Amino acid sequence: MKIVAIDGPAGSGKSSVSRAVATKLGFGFLDTGAAYRALTWWALELGVDLSDEDAIVGLLDSFPYSISLDPSNNQVRVGTVDVTEWIRDPRISLAVSAVARNLRVRDWMKQSARQLVADASFPGVVAEGRDMTTVVFKDAPVRILLTAQEEVRIARRAGDVASRDLAETTASVRERDAKDSHVVDFRTAAPGVTVVDSSDITFSDTVSTIVDIVRAGSNA
Ligand code: DC
């Protein structure tokens, strides 16, 4: 089982790039942010106060989370409910940082991601998030920090969410990066982590660059 760990900030394109890398390599794809989003969705469903850390931790023992690692169909479920689309709602994007700041939640998420990868029936898995290269899969043979200049990330996000204007997108990307960086520093590469800056290269060149790094078998 070869693990490719990819981190990066909001709007770096890490989710779509990671999925495409996994598809090219015949690997599984694990979007670890989806679990934080699903837990947030579930807490809101149950009316649990997101700032009540103990109450959120209390949900974990019976959190019926599942996610498919198939890069062409990353279905996310809580129990029997398909939440794949719902967890992308701005209501969740705005609230999820409160859950992701909770250190006991992070510990549960770490174990869960490791278990999902251990159980996967793929020759490898591309795992993306904020703490893949530094915590969850810090011993992975390939670790990449995917970055892009802030203005590029904002422009890409604005393109993704057509209804938003640029000022709103700028504020939202900056706010999410600032909130998320309270608990993990995903803006600086840890020792041994390869930085891939996608500011001046196309999507497909970004994917090929990472595929080449994986095929080379190391970060060297
Ligand atoms: O990548 P995303 O937008 O789906 O992530 C959702 C939230 O979860 C965001 O606040 C960052 C956080 N997250 C994290 O702290 N660690 C991860 N490995 C993945 C996501």
Q: Is the pLDDT of residue 180 over 90?
A: no
What percent of the chain has a predicted confidence (pLDDT) above 90? 76
Nearest to 141 by CA among 30, 59, 70, 220: 220
Q: Has residue 179 been placed in a domain?
A: yes
**Residue 216 falls within a domain, yes or no?**
no
Which residue's entry shows tokens 């900030």? 9
Domain of residue 138, residue span: 2-203
Among 24-33, 88-97, 123-132, 162-171, the least confident range: 162-171
Q: What is the mean pLDDT of residues 150-174?
A: 78
Q: Decide: pTM greater than 0.85.
A: yes
Q: Tell me whether residue 142 is exposed, middle or buried, using C-beta atoms within 10 angstroms of its C-beta: 0 to 12, 13 to 18, 19 or more.
A: buried
Q: Among 33-37, 47-51, 69-73, 213-217, whose mean pLDDT is lowest?
A: 213-217
With a 6 A CB cut-off, is 128 part of the ligand 1 pocket? no
Buried b (16+ CB within 10 A) or exposed e, 3-13: bbbbbbbbbbb
Residue 210 lies inside a defined structural domain of this protein:
no
How many domains, in total, are found in the chain? Answer: 1
Q: Could you give phi then psi for residue 194, rounded to 5 degrees?
A: -85, 130
Q: Does residue 209 lie in a domain region?
A: no
Contacting residues for 168 by C-beta, under 8 A, at least 6 apart: none
pLDDT tens-digit map of 60-73: 999 999 999 999 99
Tokens of 137: 């899969």
Ligand 1 atom 15 nearest Cα:
100
Mean pLDDT for the chain?
A: 92
Check if 97 has its Cβ closer than 6 Å to any atom of ligand 1. yes
Q: What CATH number does residue 123 fall under?
A: 3.40.50.300
